[in-house]
A and B are shown apart, each in its own frame.
Chain A
Amino acid sequence: MIIKNTQVAMDTMFVNEIERYGAKNFKACFDCGTCTAVCNLSEPGHSFPRYFVRLARTGARDEILKSRELWLCYACGDCSENCPRNADPAELIAALRRYTIASYEPTGLTKLIFKNNPVYILLTLVLAVILAMLLLSFRPESDVSRWLFQYVDYQIIHYGGILLALLLILSVIYGFVRSVKNYASGGKAKFWDTLKETTKEVGIFKRYLKCDTYDDSYWNGKPWYIKPWFLHLTIFWGFVLLFVATGLDYLFKDPNIEVWWPTRILGTIGGLSLIYGSSLIMGYRVTKPTKIYLRTKMADWIFLIFIWLTGFTGLWLEIAIFAHNHTMLTHFIFLVHIICAAEMFLLFSFSKFAHTLYRPIALFNYYKTKL
């Protein structure tokens, strides 16, 4: 620590650290402020992205972890498109969000995997194997299970799984408490009004519509159903619908019901929506139509792949059930589906998924000062 003050504690080594989270070029910044000027979401009192360049440069860790603005950004890339130094401020914001997610998680595991791709991949694979074992342990009479229990005691797998789930729930609670504390704005708005506004924003991403509106913007004039705003919406609502459908299925304890049942229709629409959104976004990350897609990180890929796999395998099962197909392949697909969905939720606070928790909290506190 070099610069210190009761208000701002700083660390110049942070520059090297944040580079490993994916911000490769932000040091080229010469503080002109073009990014802040072109950003349609930046406003007095909540100005960015230049502010983040300063915080990153001076290593103001506490300030970064307290910045609601990180979650006000929808990563449209207007700033990076207009940066005269190619400093890629949007990429810095993405990196700082990764840093925040990693810091809001108590084990330090996220810090490791966000900075190290092979470890990240290894972790997801190992977790998949563990989950497979766990799932198989529910059916101890199967061939694979019998083979497995020669080596591992059933109890270990069973209680290990429960312990893991508990730890993960604890980590989510930890992240929740920290973000609630850090993002507290001391705004005076009424709780219910603020909650209403936040829910509205989370439901339709209205502020996202301000992005990509410049005449020379790539997305300006493109049909609405292929714009990033809509795709984000399809993934979000796909998730919500699937969540609701799964929950109802769980309540009625009978997943083997007709395709035309409301809960199944809900699930089908959600799944299709999820596949549509994630497929197109993955497509953009491959074809790179704008600067924002130039440097996709492992954290982005893994989250997207899990979403897509969950949606795809779910749809496969839907068709298989409809067609009464009970082959070995379908069973395997079912296993993959469960593993993907489970891993996504298990790694909730260890992955990009955590933004669904931190963004609403930040937005809530933002609206508290605005309303």
Chain B
Amino acid sequence: MKIGVYICHCGSNIADHVDIEKVRETIGQQKDVFLVKDVMFACSDSSQKEMVEDIQSQGLDAIVVASCSPKLHLPTFREVARRAGLNPYKYIQVNIREQCSWAHSNDHKGATDKAIKLIEAGIEKAKRSEALEPIKIDAINAVAVVGAGIAGLRAAIELADMGTDVYLIEREYFIGGRITQWDELFTTNQTGREIITKLYHQLISYKNITLFTGAEIVETSGSVGNMEIKVRIKPRYVKPDCVFDMDKFEKAIEVCPVEVEDEFNFGLTKRKAIYKNYPGEFPEVPAIDHDHCTRCGECLKVCEGIDLEQKEEFINLNVGAILLATGFDPYEPKEGEYGYGQVPNVITLQQFKRLIELCPDELVYAGRKIHNIAYIYCVGSRQQNGPNRYCSRYCCTAAMHTALLVKQKYGDIRNFHFTRGIRTYGKQEHIYHEALEQGDVVFQSFNDPLCEVGEHNGTAVVKINDFLTRGKPMELEADLVVLITGMVPRKNNTIAQLLKVPVGRDHFFNEVHLKLRPVETVIDGVFISGASQGPKNIMESVNSALAAASKANNLVKKGFISIEPTIAFVDADKCQWCDKCAQVCPFDAFEQVDYNGKQVARVITSLCKGCGMCLPVCPEDALQLHNYTDRQIEAMIEDLAKAK
């Protein structure tokens, strides 16, 4: 067997603390080592070229590069092997930088000895390495996008544009999500609805997008490339082919006897069981709320487009990947938190946004004309003692923007901001500046709670020890107290449980790597975007939606997916199917199969990640991991433990 060994100086990173000359000489005496070279930078173009030439001209069977961490350059040298016609898995990387020279910079001799040992062990591993080929699995060029808010819509359109079939699944009867609830938005002054209207018209122009409303995924199976999802579709109780007459619909609303809290207005108003949140909402036809409708039939008498006989439907869809854009819920303050629910005229920012829209001429809440508004920031965010330690990012800007808006709309308004410090980052700083210019007063405190909300003669009174005015206690009689509540994960998050999407400490969906893989999850084929991943403003949501769309498309468009062959495999002769491996596997990658009349475990190749969790629990030693086989590991240990 011919093995080539390359020892990297890494400039001075390794060479300063390891005697490269001595290492080279020692390794050169090893059996099976056909060639040893030391190189200044193994990763440089010239070194890579040299390796390719060596492999080809000398006919090397395997190569070992002793350099940095495999996290940095494993793919680089695998690619070198591939270019030279050597199987990439016949390449072994030995880490003599992070784990040797950097760690023992004060012990020249020790570092040198350790480097020699590590390389010898690497050679032992290389001798026993197997040639592996990447595993290819079929992929369906279709993606299920869950949630038709701004992120979901934007992702769906992008995917469809790149030639992927899209199933857009929305739980509500109408699309648009949260942003249809906000009126004017920063910085364009477009309303959320205008944006959604634009996107909807774009959406329906694509033949390869199928939209489901009132729909929810209830079951999933399969794995990346071919996932089967079962979708439950609630009846809309409106005949699908009818041309809906809006006058008759208005009448139907009138006669409907059911009144429920209007979630669209965050409980500020009531709505009927037959409803539409706003006139231009999409899809254009209204819906009858399946959960609240009593099927009394009153509406049938005035509107023939209604069909109360419709039933729930279930359909199965096959997709290559799933893109989650399920959004957020606004934080719901606890009873008594800053007077919420106890002191009159204390509402949340989200309610306030709706209130502004519901009050066209003058701002009135609970019969009171509003002049002085207190905004209390960081409610439910940056909690010093609560679970939500994170900053919700969007709220400072949203609050300042809203404060400016009310002043503009109603004129005689005075704004008072009670903050822990304003975070209107980036371009949004202009808003802060503008609010200050307009005479808004900003108080700051680092106490928890940052201020107290009490009541005096039926009026809310906010007390703060303002840090910026030398902690002087101040009191404001506010006509309205607006709690600037941040974002929390969706209360109803069954989809996450179905797909086993990991969540972080903040309970939002977790990405694989915050910086390098921000829209992927550890579940292959499941992508996350928008505020489902953490608090984001609209631009950031769309950014992540576009990223997730391109990642999803990239995964499924070729029709197949290549996955790492370094996965577990079962020696069926030894296996007795005790179930232990299946229990520890975090990816559900084991299935029970029949083998020569006995039950054994089998690894589902598309699910296994090669993590190795199953190996130590197998009582029969029937499990192995490709390229980390017992033979290899034992030989390495033996070599390392051998006395000199």
Assess whether A55 is interfacial by the CB under 8 Å rule: yes
Q: Is the CB of A58 within 8 A of B469?
A: yes
Assess whether A12 is interfacial by the CB under 8 Å rule: yes
Interface stretch, picked from A26-34, A249-257, A297-305, A329-337, is A26-34
Assess whether B444 is interfacial by the CB under 8 Å rule: yes
Residue of A nearest to B469 (CB): A54
Assess whether B584 is interfacial by the CB under 8 Å rule: no
Assess whether B31 is interfacial by the CB under 8 Å rule: no
Assess whether B470 is interfacial by the CB under 8 Å rule: yes
A51 to B469 Cα, complex, angstroms: 6
Q: Is the CB of B432 within 8 A of A30?
A: yes
* Interface hits, B411-428 → A, CB 8 Å: 414, 416, 422
Given A2-B414, A3-B475: A31 in contact with B437 (beta carbons within 8 A): no
Q: Is the CB of B439 within 8 A of A2?
A: no
Assess whether A93 is interfacial by the CB under 8 Å rule: no
Q: Is the CB of B422 within 8 A of A30?
A: yes
For the complex, count residues of B whose C-beta is within 8 A of A. Answer: 22
Residue of A nearest to B432 (CB): A30
Assess whether A7 is interfacial by the CB under 8 Å rule: yes
Q: Is the CB of B441 within 8 A of A57?
A: yes
Given A2-B477, A51-B469, A51-B470: A31 in contact with B414 (beta carbons within 8 A): no
A28 to B433 Cα, complex, angstroms: 6
Q: Is the CB of B372 within 8 A of A2?
A: yes
Q: Is the CB of A31 within 8 A of B475?
A: no
Assess whether A15 is interfacial by the CB under 8 Å rule: yes
Write the B372-390 contact mask toward A (1 if CB under 8 angstroms, else 0): 1000000000000000000
Contacts of A30 in B (CB 8 A): 422, 432-433, 436
Q: Is the CB of A7 within 8 A of B472?
A: yes
Contacts of B10 in A (CB 8 A): none
Write the A86-126 contact mask toward B (1 if CB under 8 angstroms, else 0): 00000000000000000000000000000000000000000
Contacts of A15 in B (CB 8 A): 439
Q: Is the CB of B468 within 8 A of A27?
A: no
Contacts of B472 in A (CB 8 A): 7-8, 63
Contacts of A55 in B (CB 8 A): 469
A230 to B468 Cα, complex, angstroms: 35
Write the A42-62 contact mask toward B (1 if CB under 8 angstroms, else 0): 000001001100110110100
A-B contact count (CB 8 A): 57
Q: For A4, give its contact among B437, B468, B469, B477 (CB under 8 Å).
A: B477
A63 to B474 Cα, complex, angstroms: 13
Q: How far is the CB of A8 from chain B (nearest CB, A)?
A: 5
Residue of A nearest to B476 (CB): A3
Contacts of A3 in B (CB 8 A): 416, 474-477
Q: Is the CB of B414 within 8 A of A12?
A: yes
Assess whether A5 is interfacial by the CB under 8 Å rule: yes
Q: How far is the CB of B54 from chain A (nearest CB, A)?
A: 60
Q: Is the CB of A27 within 8 A of B474?
A: no
A5 to B416 Cα, complex, angstroms: 16
Residue of B nearest to A5 (CB): B475
Q: Is the CB of B422 within 8 A of A54?
A: no
Q: For A5, give its contact among B439, B441, B474 (CB under 8 Å).
A: B474
Assess whether A363 is interfacial by the CB under 8 Å rule: no
Q: Is the CB of A31 within 8 A of B439?
A: no
Contacts of A8 in B (CB 8 A): 469, 472-474
Residue of A nearest to B442 (CB): A31
Assess whether B466 is interfacial by the CB under 8 Å rule: yes
Assess whether A361 is interfacial by the CB under 8 Å rule: no
Contacts of B470 in A (CB 8 A): 47, 51
Contacts of B466 in A (CB 8 A): 54
* Interface hits, B539-575 → A, CB 8 Å: none
Q: Is the CB of B436 within 8 A of A28?
A: yes
Assess whether A10 is interfacial by the CB under 8 Å rule: yes
A31 to B421 Cα, complex, angstroms: 9
Q: Is the CB of A31 within 8 A of B468?
A: yes
Q: For B436, give its contact among A7, A27, A51 (CB under 8 Å).
A: A27
Q: For A7, give its contact among B414, B422, B441, B473 (CB under 8 Å).
A: B473
Residue of B nearest to A57 (CB): B441
Q: How far is the CB of B345 from chain A (nearest CB, A)?
A: 15
Contacts of B475 in A (CB 8 A): 3-5
Q: How far is the CB of A49 from chain B (nearest CB, A)?
A: 12
Contacts of A50 in B (CB 8 A): 468
Contacts of B439 in A (CB 8 A): 12, 15-16, 27, 57
Contacts of B372 in A (CB 8 A): 2
A5 to B469 Cα, complex, angstroms: 14
A74 to B338 Cα, complex, angstroms: 44
Q: Is the CB of B473 within 8 A of A5?
A: yes
Residue of B nearest to A33 (CB): B468
A50 to B466 Cα, complex, angstroms: 13
Contacts of A12 in B (CB 8 A): 414, 439, 441
Residue of A nearest to B422 (CB): A30
Q: Is the CB of B437 within 8 A of A28?
A: yes
Residue of B nearest to A87 (CB): B436
* Interface hits, B439-476 → A, CB 8 Å: 439, 441-442, 444, 466, 468-470, 472-476
Residue of A nearest to B470 (CB): A51
Q: Is the CB of B474 within 8 A of A29?
A: no
Given A3-B476, A8-B473: A27 in contact with B442 (beta carbons within 8 A): no
Contacts of B442 in A (CB 8 A): 31
Contacts of A16 in B (CB 8 A): 439
Q: How far is the CB of A370 from chain B (nearest CB, A)?
A: 18
Residue of A nearest to B372 (CB): A2
Q: Is the CB of A10 within 8 A of B468?
A: no
Residue of A nearest to B443 (CB): A58
A54 to B444 Cα, complex, angstroms: 11
A115 to B432 Cα, complex, angstroms: 29
Contacts of B444 in A (CB 8 A): 31
Q: Is the CB of B437 within 8 A of A10?
A: no
Contacts of A27 in B (CB 8 A): 436-437, 439
Residue of B nearest to A2 (CB): B372
* Interface hits, B53-112 → A, CB 8 Å: none
Write the A136-152 contact mask toward B (1 if CB under 8 angstroms, else 0): 00000000000000000
Residue of B nearest to A4 (CB): B475
Q: Is the CB of B468 within 8 A of A54?
A: yes
A63 to B436 Cα, complex, angstroms: 21
Q: How far is the CB of B158 from chain A (nearest CB, A)?
A: 38
Contacts of A60 in B (CB 8 A): 469
A12 to B422 Cα, complex, angstroms: 20
Q: Is the CB of A58 within 8 A of B436?
A: no
Q: How far is the CB of A151 from chain B (nearest CB, A)?
A: 51
Contacts of A10 in B (CB 8 A): 474
22 CB contacts below 8 A, A to B, read A2-B372, A2-B476, A3-B416, A3-B475, A4-B477, A5-B475, A8-B473, A10-B474, A12-B414, A12-B439, A15-B439, A27-B437, A28-B433, A29-B436, A30-B422, A31-B442, A51-B469, A55-B469, A57-B439, A57-B441, A58-B441, A85-B433
**Closest 3 A/B residue pairs (Cβ):** A54-B469, A5-B475, A3-B476
For the complex with contacts A30-B432, A51-B470, 5 further pairs of A-B residues with Cβ separation under 8 Å are: A4-B477, A27-B436, A28-B436, A31-B468, A55-B469
Measured CB to CB, the residues of A under 8 A from B are 2-5, 7-8, 10, 12, 15-16, 27-31, 47, 50-51, 54-55, 57-58, 60, 63, 85
